[in-house]
Amino acid sequence: MRTQVRSFRDLRRRHPRLWKYGRVVIHATLFATVMYYVLVVLAGRLAGLSLADLRVDMGVAAISVALLVMSRVVTVLTYRQTVSMFMSPPAWREFVVIAFVPSLAKYVPGKVTGFLGALWFFDRAGVRVPIASATLLIMRVLILAVAFMVSLPALIVTVGFGRIGTMWAWGLLLAIVVAAAMHPRVFKPVANRVLTRLGARELERTPRPGEFLAPATTVFVQWLCTGASLWFMARALSPLSIDTLPLCISATALANVLGYIAFFAPAGLGVREGVLLFAMGSIMADDQLAITVIMLRVVEMAVEVALAGIGIAVQHLPRQHTG
């Protein structure tokens, strides 16, 4: 294994252009493959759909949009809670900019652009690189860990309980691992190692384990709002019962986690849609589910562009540097 890692490093050092273009080709191939599959499935499910027969409850759809906006607004609070672990936080408007504007970078291929953009806005707000980097690291870990635990019901329903009867045990194990990772004796050396590789100074203060509870709670609320948004969007097209709400919340978390992990897919495009089509196939008709998945993506992009516009407008307001 070490020999393979060393060979990859040698290839990257000796042939940087070959490494660069090779990665582009691999990413593009994987992305094209996923998109082809998802588009074929969507086209097949929409083949017999007549737009004249399509009925959308606009009131219910509006609730879906409102919940989607709320899930993004909660992110502002999560950022502030996390920064508060290390310093006196800047003004609220600074976190509006940090939460809304860099999020558009997820539509750019690669997962680094949004991180660098957030660091830049943090710096403008008076938050030093070590604290900003630690904040982003903590948030990524909490978002993925909470999302995975929320997604367990969708995994059980879609994959089959008989084959993954130990899934809840894996969820408990993950919670224990995350709790251990947040302990000062573990978190501080890991975070400082990352900061050193980034060329930044080490952290002067390490959060106490109990301080992670507040941002973890708001992250959980964020996933609840996102999943409820999917349920209301589906409810606007199909008479779903309230019993399907937990599955929608779980499926949304699973789809977003896999979309984030898929390094080749900007904003999880294609991956997230494929997961939702698979996970929710048992509760909706094929054509209605296809429309729901498409509508959710379009609405999400519109919401994020609108919120980024608000963030850009807020960015031009007078700033107060604190800490």
Over the stretch 170-195, which tens digit does the pLDDT of each residue have?
Answer: 566 666 766 676 666 777 777 777 76
In a domain, 7, yes or no: no
User: Count of domains in the chain?
Assistant: 1
**Which distant-in-sequence residues (6+ apart) come within 8 Å of 254 by Cβ?**
147, 151, 154, 155, 275, 279
Residue 240 lies in a domain: yes
Tokens standing for residue 90: 């800047």
Q: What is the mean pLDDT of the chain?
A: 82
Whether pLDDT at 2 is above 50: no
Residue 127 DSSP class: -
Classify each residue of 78-115 as buried b or exposed e, where b means 16 or more C-beta atoms within 10 Å of its C-beta. bbbbbbebbbebbbebbbbbbbbbbbbbbeebeeebbb
Evaluate whether residue 32 is within a structural domain: no
Task: Centre a 10 Å sphere on the Cβ of residue 163 and count the other Cβ atoms it contains.
Answer: 9
Of the listed ranges 7-21, 29-43, 154-168, 229-243, the one predicted with least confidence: 154-168
User: What is d(CA 82, CA 74) in angstroms, rounded to the nearest whole number?
Assistant: 13
**Greater pLDDT, 4 or 308:** 308
pLDDT-derived band at 164 (thresholds 50, 70, 90) equals very low
Task: Please check whether residue 288 is in contact with residue 46, taking contact to mean a CB–CB distance below 8 angstroms.
Answer: no
Q: Is residue 47 part of a domain?
A: no
- How confident is the model over 288-294, as a mean pLDDT? 91
- Residue 33 counted as domain residue: no
Q: How far, in Å, CA of 233 to CA of 250, rounded? A: 15
What the block records as the tokens of 46 is 């929409």
- The more confident residue out of 152 and 262 is 262
- Rounded to whole angstroms, the Cα distance separating 101 from 315 reads 9
The letter for the amino acid at 150 is: V
Place of tokens 């699973």: 254
- How confident is residue 228, by pLDDT bands cut at 50, 70 and 90? very high
Report yes or no on 20 lying in a domain.
no
Structure tokens at 13: 């050092």
pLDDT > 90 in the chain, percent: 30
End-to-end CA distance of the chain: 45
* 323 located within any domain: no
Q: Is residue 37 part of a domain?
A: no
> Is the model more confident about 189 or about 43?
43
Compute the chain's Rg from CA coordinates. 21
Tell me the pTM: 0.83
Q: Which domain holds residue 277?
A: 56-315
What's the CA gap between 89 and 72, in Å, rounded? 19
Residue 146 and residue 223: Cα distance in Å, rounded?
8
Half-sphere exposure (CA, 13 Å, Cβ side) for 241? Answer: 3
